[in-house]
Structure 1
Amino acid sequence: MGARFTGLQALASVEDHIVVCEDAEATVLVVTAPLEEHGRQVLAEVGSLRHLMVIPAAGGLPEGESYAVRPLVPGPATETDLAWLQYTGGTTGRPKGVMQPHRSMVQMVCAHMADFEQPHLPRYLAPAPLTHAAGLGVLPTLLRGGTVVIEQGFDPGRFLDIIEAERINCVTGIPTMIYTLLDEERPETRDLSSLEVIWYATGPMSPVRLAEARERIGPVFSQIYGQTESTGIGTVLPKAAHETASLERLASCGRPVVGNRVRLIDEDGHDVPVGEVGEIAMRNRGVMLGYRNLPEETEAALKGGWLHTGDLARQDDEGLLYIIDRKKDMIISGGFNIYASEVEAALAGHPSVGSAAVIGVPDDRWGEIVTAFVVARPGQDVDVLALQSFVKQAKGSMYSPKKVVVVDSLPQTPVGKVDKKALRAPYWSDPRAQSPLTLPHLPPTSHERYTALTTPPPRLIDFHSHWGTERGWKGSPYETAEDREALRGYFKWGMNFVSDDEQAAQFRQANAKVMLDFAYTYKMDAGALRDQHDYAFDFAHTHPDVVLGNWIGIDPTQPDHVKELERCLSEGPGLIGLTVHSFTPAGTPDQPEWENCLNLCTEANRPVLVHVGMSATGAGTRGGMGITLEGCHPRYVDRIAATHPDLNVIAARVAWPWQSEMIAVALHKANVWMELHGWSPRYFPDELKREIGKRLRKRVFFGADYPMLSHERLVEEWREQGFSSDVLDDVFSGNAESFLTSIGVE
């Protein structure tokens, strides 16, 4: 035909389509019936366009047109002639046209058929637009005489129906689709026996959720990493490589595909040593000719004959690559590439916005969400919902920030540039991780999940969290690499430590004031114990806006530990309380060894924290670290509250499997409260949920168990349970404020 193809993103705005069609000098525009008016607006503005073809809603050719079967005759094109002109966003806000010749398309097909484990007779389901990554699976399928089933959009139930009905054996998916399948459907109950491979691509996928997907759907997952500039050719992590218990390995994007050479290079173009971070540079016959009408960008991208991807990675001793960051500010949300500069330009066009910076923030469902930090113009107030609507109208729905944070100023580097590293720090705490290793959860299925994100976070008083810093875990049973791997496997937290300032920034971002708990200090000698407490007190003095106080964990059988508790009660900043663990040498809280410590807290009018129910400590380890669950029964809360009526006793955690007994104790004793850290409220027993809205409403404190569970996640999930706003206000901060006032803590 002598034609070339340019795909348009259906969710983009008319203005974006006009820019692309003008730069491509497109002559024919093909749209589906729902976008006919959209297409006519583009046709009216682009001088090169001569034809508009509207595909009927029912499919097929436009009315009045027909075709006859005819031989496929090779055209005059050579391997270097342009076949595919695909546009990708640019850092200047101008989209870049990636020029892919016929040789690139051939190389893509060869790599696909050689390394992607395509079934011998493929039955391929394309659940995403063919203008996107799903389109790359069409040619290899047809060349093998296979079948392509095209869907106009993704519906999880219909997706599974089609696999069953059409006996689909291969499909391209993106992390968002896979998460939705896991969260909204029960794929393990469907007949997916025909399915041989799911290629997931276009963005980071949580290793924890990937492991869940393999368990519920099957060992059919294969990861592909590539770029539009390389026709999707890059690396592959095949199905067999997914058969591992290592979450870190599941974060790998694999090894180079056949015909592709990969280097990791430094700023000077030299190879970096194994294990160190470098930019991915690729060379293969699928690499683009360049960017249309952008010679300088082309020269930079293809410098030295290598495609400089802008993606930073490291390589392990086995040759596996791990994407860790991007030099560019591209955000991958729901499988779509979104460029921060384009969102920033749209935000800056609003009359209330003085300046803006945009980053991608990790999200379990979307991979990343667009997050904007905006500074208001003098005398202006930023209406978050109106601003999101403004960006949506200007750029399309996928560019509209899911989260908007209004700030007084943006952080700057010494040379005056916006410091995006500082903005990312509270969210991307571990630069070595491709995706966050957080606790898996079931995200909501509607847009309601992001309603919470578009409003300022509530004021939180968190009555129990741990430390996100490495120093905060000193003396813990998880100091060795082996022990940490056990923790990752059970709690789905990668122990991705942050600095003191980064930890404070995370609390600040969540609008939280936190009671911190070291948890393992009772094993330390007196000197180390004092040093650890001094570290905590220094942090509290430096960041008084986010630290409520500290829980003190000691061994009451050691006199020096008891003296240290006395020092902390008299000198410690903020609220100081005693953590009572049944697994110390003193035993359960009702044992006489605890009596002196309980009396000290009573005299100081400071609370004690007693863990009840299944405790995180020891969970998932052989022998549970010697801890028996019986020692965490609510009866011990009942006993010390009865024998020390002037002592405030806070029961920590949900008390499962004895939540009924714990509720009874809290209702019976006026000096007993419940603090619910360590559990997502979606997993609370029904009885507990019911009582929180009724008789326990004024007896419950919010607790997070940071960093294993984030404050933002828990706030969203509390809101999803249907509690009234008044109840949530009490849980998030109201009850704690009343309690603190009663014991004289500001």
Structure 2
Amino acid sequence: MSDQVVKYECAVDVDQIVAVDMHVHLEVDSCGHESMPADIMEASSKYFKAAERTPSADTIADIYRAHKMAAIVFTVDARTQMGHLPNSIDDLVANCARNNDVLIPFGSVDPRMGEDALVEARRQVEDLGVCGFKFHPSVQGFDPSSEEFYPLWELLESFGLPCIFHTGQNGMGAGLPGGRGIKLRYSNPLLLDDVAADFPKLTIIMAHPSVPWQDEANSIATHKSNVYIDLSGWSPKYFPESLVKQSNNVLSKKVLFGTDFPLITPEKWLSAFAELPLKDEVRPGILKDNAVKVLGLGAVSKQADAKEDQYA
């Protein structure tokens, strides 16, 4: 892995893709370091019946390129809770930069690191060019509504970048004694309602159907214009009925396609999604258009067109 810092610049052409997967994990870096301790990795593989747990960034890019999709790629920094250093964010960004026609990097910091988390978040934005952030309150062991973490949300709000927060049931630690110490209550979406209310310019994406708190998640996404739901982590055939119904109407502009790859493949997710009783006019928004708006990809595409015109 090179010591040279690579700054990401997005080159996704929204006119050439059919979907944006908002939720893809890169679980191993170029040095072979895995994002979580071995027992966590093994338990989640068993829980999801994942065929391949640690594909490389280039493999992920090849898969999404073949599907004509873009993908948000991230890892999770949970060093305090897990006692395990995360993947290299610098390496993740460099891999995405090499595949910037399909891969979009999100950063991650451990909120429990206090001032160091703020310094690192700023570095990831200003030096690396990350396009958002990923948090997993249960795995990272923190309550996002605690004012202890408000300086971090204030900083991220100032950057104008979206943040994905895990919500609901947890495959990480599933089946282990005590769930490996991972506490589900930190993933109750109601904790994010406080954050959304107090930081109205912070775009919050609640990851996954929020079982067993789906009604709470639906309500928050309906009430707060800055809150969205990604549909990753579950096969659509298991989506709560209330989520499907509201995705068809009041939440049609607020839900986003996501798989949780490599735990769920695009093929498996899309096959089940095709069977959902959704209006034809709703599907393109869920698969692509809502994400393009949230991520500002339309603006990226226009900038690229302007550069081409300038040198034509």
Structures share a fold, TM > 0.5? yes
Task: Determine if contact 2:230/2:258 at 8 Å carries over to the other structure.
Answer: yes
| Residue number in structure 2 paired with 1:641 | 196
1:555 is aligned to 111
User: Paired residue for 2:143, among 583, 588, 593?
Assistant: 588
Q: Match of 1:374?
A: none
Q: In the aligned structure 2, how far is the partner of 1:697 from the partner of 1:504?
A: 28
Q: Which residue of 2 aligns with 1:476?
A: 36
- Structural mapping, 1:440-519, within 5 Å: 459-467=18-26, 469=28, 471=30, 474-478=34-38, 484-519=41-76
Structure 2 CA distance for aligned equivalents of residues 727 and 582 of structure 1: 32
Letter in 2 for 1:535: D
C-alpha distance 659-465 of structure 1, shift in aligned 2 (>3 A):
same
Give the percent of matched residue pairs that are identical in Structure 1 and Structure 2: 27
Residues 331-372 of structure 1 deviation map (CA, whole Å, 9 limit, x = unaligned): xxxxxxxxxxxxxxxxxxxxxxxxxxxxxxxxxxxxxxxxxx
RMSD: 2.6
After TM superposition, the structure 1 = structure 2 runs for residues 422-433 of structure 1, keeping only pairs within 5 Å, are none
2:255 counterpart residue number: 700
Q: Please list, as runs of the form range in 1=range in 2, the aligned pairs for 1:251-270 lying within 5 A after superposition.
A: none
Length-normalised TM-score, structure 1: 0.36
Equivalent residue in structure 2 for 1:568, among 97, 100, 124: 124
Larger Rg: 1
How many residues align structurally? 283
Rounded Cα–Cα distance in structure 1 between residues aligned with 2:40 and 2:173 = 11
Q: Which residue of 2 aligns with 1:58?
A: none
| Change beyond 3 A, Cα 1:500–1:738 | closer
Q: Is the 8 A contact 2:93 2:130 kept in 1?
A: no
Query: Does the Cα contact within 8 Å between 1:606 and 1:743 map onto a contact in 2?
Result: no
1:632 aligns with 2:191: no
| Aligned AA (1:566) | R
Alignment partners' CA distance in 2, 1:629 and 1:621: 14
Distance in 2 (alpha carbons) for counterparts of 1:647 and 1:458 = 27
* 1:682–1:577 distance in 2 versus 1, CA, 3 Å: same
Instruction: Provide closer, same or farther for how the CA distance between residues 703 and 496 of structure 1 changes in structure 2, counting only shifts above 3 A.
Output: closer
Displacement of 1:741 in angstroms is 2.8
SS of the residue aligned with 1:556?
Answer: helix
Which residue identity is paired with 2:281? D
Corresponding residue for 2:133?
577
- After superposition, the Cα gap between the structure-2 partners of 1:524 and 1:731, relative to the gap in structure 1 and judged at 3 Å, is same
Going by fraction, where is strand more abundant, 1 or 2?
1
Paired AA for residue 491 in structure 1 = F
- How far apart are 1:696 and its partner, in Å? 0.4
Q: How does 1:85-96 map to 2 (within 5 A)?
A: none
Paired position in structure 2 for 1:662: 217
| CA separation of 1:662 and 1:524: change in aligned 2, threshold 3 A | closer
Q: Match for 1:720: what amino acid?
A: E
Q: Which amino acid aligns with 1:493?
A: A
Superposition map of 1:52-131 within 5 A: none
Q: Is the 8 A contact 1:653 1:675 kept in 2?
A: yes
The CA distance in 1 between the partners of 2:145 and 2:157, in whole Å, is 15
- Structure number with greater CO (CA < 8 Å, separation at least 6) is 2
Mapped to 1, the partners of 2:276 and 2:33 lie a distance apart of: 33
Contact 2:203 2:227 in 1 (8 A): yes
Report if the CA contact (8 A) 1:467-1:473 is conserved: no
Structure 1 segments of 4 or more deviating over 6 A? none
Equivalent residue letter for 1:656: V
